Amino acid sequence: MFKKIPRQFYYFLAAFFVLNLLQSVFTELIFDEAYYWYYSQNMDWGYFDHPPMVALLIKGSSLFFNGELGVRFVSCIISALNFVVLWLLIDHPKKNLYVPHFFVLVFSMTLLNAYGFFTLPDTPLLFFTSCFLLSYKYFLKSPKFGTAIILGIFMAALMYSKYHAVLVIMFVLLSNLNLVKNKYAWLSVIVALMCYAPHFYWLYENDFVSIKYHLYERPNDAYQFEKYTLGFFVNLIALFGLTFPFIYYALFKTKSRDLFNKALLFLTYGVILFFFLSSFNRRVQTQWIIVICIPLVVIVYNFMLGNKPILKWIMRLGIVNSLIILYLRIGLVYQPILFNFYYESHGNKAWVEAIYKEVGDIPMVFENSYRNAPMYEFYSGGIPTFSLNNVMYRKNQYSIDNSEERVRGKKVAYISKYISDNTFSHTKPDGGILKGKYISEFSSYRKLECILEEDKVSLGNSNYHLKVINPYDFDIDISKLKFSIAYLSPYKITLGLKPVEPRPMKDSLQILAKNDSIDFSLDIPDYDKEKVGYIRVVISENGLYPGLNGKPTPIQ
């Protein structure tokens, strides 16, 4: 199979790989990469936001290198391998004569280019989408035990990369419903489920926290055509830059010739349609639709080779795209002179060094920043950090792991916009101000859980049943806890707080015992009913801003 690949292909591939290695070394981490690096410090079968594949890539990279390359090395490898798999997906008899055209096409796709070195969940998603499609292609030719096993493994690898992978599998299945009658296709499903069983078990053990967050608890806002639906179409253009008219023209003109080509079309149109409909409910991020780049490389390249005018235009505009991308890639390392924009890969070492000079080796607590906390830990050489998430923010990996215990009872440097008596501050390159102070003995109880027994509540009503659960292995003095009702908009954005005093259903309770719970009677104060869609019960401990203890409960 690999002997059919021309030598010229390997020259281009080597150049692409070396470019990504150099980019990885000289580009500081972006915030999401730092967050996923934090994942990799405690390997598990799942994490709050994503399945574990991105953490596995980083852990693998760290076996070979330190620093940024220790986060990105495996991403560089699988991105190069992805080009090989894409090439193998193409059957056009003249493809060996047009190797440069293939690399111009793929290099000019903006995010496909960026994920050549960034280590994000979409990096393995793209690679395993290509592998899944290649294994499906061979499965169609020879549905037997071996190809079914391989197909199932790649289905699981897709799902371990990102939950969006279910769309890839679903639309390929919809393109060939006869698969439901194929025993080898069922074998693939069984293999995939067996491989994915550890993550299912992790979800069960963690109360399906990832699914609940993505489906029910993410904050949103009111529909805006420009931000949502128009933004979705802008993202479709941004994926391909100047070549976008010819990319979509090739897609529109390509007809289903066989089952594999039909799968590519179903996958592309299916993802576009799914996120178009989603755009009427929430803002669609560009990377959510990036997976269409994989089938479109195959569709467009095949179309190019049979249509000389389109070939010429994609080459011309693709080269311009590539030059712009190269300039932007240099801009990731150095702030560009021509367009003086700040990006999150600029200045992270500098602000971490400045804070470190101020606070030294003591642990850091960042309020409402799962971005700054891991970035500081990475560039400070492993100083323990914790993201203290309050009711104005959202839950994340720091809400479910053991990081709170790394700072409990210790002197910490506490950085938050909610403090006014700061003793030090630093202005970041993006203009953000980090205000900090020292806390001699830090203690938070962010895992305390508040459960309203009622499915819906009415504002201004009394005697609701509240259960407060202490999951810690130590007792908590109830006098240290201050309760409030957080009022949320219909889009689960916190509008305001009102203090409340729940009444214990048993008299004289002063201690919330370890691994135990207490039942309270709770009155819910009135608020502006025109705005409130949900409430949640929250707790402030030791003078800290209230946390995210209760789940959003609808107003009836």
Q: Please determine, for residue 482, whether its predicted confidence score (pLDDT) is greater than 70.
A: yes
Model confidence at 220: pLDDT above 80: no
Same domain assignment for residues 453 and 476: yes
Tokens 């979509």 belong to residue = 248
Q: Are residues 153 and 253 in the same domain?
A: yes
If you search the block for the tokens 């179309």, which residue do you land on?
303
- Among 267, 301, 333, which residue terminates a domain? 333
Q: Are residues 328 and 352 in the same domain?
A: no
pLDDT for 420 equals: 84
Mean pLDDT of 21-48: 97
CB 76 within 8 A of CB 24: yes
User: What one-letter code names the amino acid at 267?
Assistant: L
The count of residues in the chain is: 556
Do 286 and 418 fall into the same domain? no
Q: Are residues 119 and 268 in the same domain?
A: yes
**Percent of the chain residues topping a pLDDT of 90:** 87
> Does the pLDDT of residue 505 top 90, yes or no?
no
pLDDT at 1 over 60: no
To the nearest 10°, report the CA torsion of 25, 28, 30, 33: 50
pLDDT given for residue 282 in this prediction: 86
Nearest to 318 by CA among 300, 336, 306: 300
338 within some domain: no
pLDDT of residue 217: 75
| pLDDT one-digit tens code per residue, 352-365 | 999 999 999 999 99
CA 479 to chain centre: 38
Question: Is 60 exceeded by the pLDDT of residue 306?
Answer: yes
What's the mean per-residue pLDDT of the chain? 94
The answer to whether residue 318 is domain-embedded is yes
| Domain contains 343 | no
> What is the structure's pLDDT at 531?
87
Q: How many domains does the chain have?
A: 3
- pLDDT band of 508, cuts 50, 70, 90: low
Q: Over pLDDT 70: what percentage of the chain?
A: 98
Residue 518's pLDDT is what? 93
Band of pLDDT at residue 555, cut at 50, 70 and 90: very high
Which of these three, 275, 310, 333, is where a domain ends?
333
- What are the pLDDT digits (tens) for 37-68? 999 999 999 999 999 999 999 999 999 999 99
Q: Are residues 50 and 85 in the same domain?
A: yes
Residue 521 and residue 395 in one domain: no
* Predicted pLDDT at 100: 97
Q: Is residue 236 part of a domain?
A: yes
pLDDT band with cut points at 50, 70 and 90 for residue 342: confident
User: Residue 338 — pLDDT band, cuts 50, 70, 90?
Assistant: low
Whole-number Å distance between alpha carbons of 345 and 208: 33
Tell me, yes or no, whether 310 lies in a domain: yes
User: What is the pLDDT at residue 448?
Assistant: 97
85 and 28 belong to one structural domain: yes
Please list, in sequence order, all residues whose beta carbon lies within 8 angstroms of the beta carbon of residue 194, skipping any fewer than 6 positions away.
152
What is the pLDDT confidence band of residue 431, given thresholds at 50, 70 and 90?
confident
Residue 493, domain extent? 449-554
CATH number of the CATH domain containing 471: 2.60.40
Residue 522: pLDDT over 60: yes
Confidence of residue 339 (pLDDT cuts 50, 70, 90): low
Please give the helix or strand (H or E) that residue 233 lies within, else none: helix 229-238
pLDDT for position 348: 94
* pLDDT of res. 337: 61
Tokens encoding 490: 């219909």
Domain boundary among 279, 306, 333: 333
Whether residues 503 and 357 fall in one domain: no
pLDDT tens profile 163-218: 999 999 999 999 999 999 999 999 999 999 999 999 999 999 999 999 988 887 77
Please tell me the distance from the alpha carbon of residue 265 to that of residue 271, in angstroms, as a whole number.
10
Q: Are residues 475 and 500 in the same domain?
A: yes
- Is residue 444, in this structure, part of any structural domain at all? no
Q: Does residue 214 belong to any structural domain of this protein? A: no
Count the helix, strand and coil residues of the chain and give each as a percent rounded to the nearest 5.
50, 15, 35
Task: Look at residue 3 and tell me whether its pLDDT is greater than 80.
Answer: no
Give the range among 27-36, 253-262, 430-439 with minimum mean pLDDT. 430-439
Q: Within this chain, do residues 107 and 158 fall inside the same structural domain, yes or no?
A: yes
The number of beta carbons lying within 10 Å of the beta carbon of residue 214 is 12
Domain assignment present for 161: yes
Mean pLDDT lowest among 115-124, 149-158, 336-345, 371-380? 336-345
Place 222 in a pLDDT band, splitting at 50, 70 and 90.
Answer: confident
Residues 416 and 277 in one domain: no
Question: What number is the average pLDDT over the span 25-38?
Answer: 97
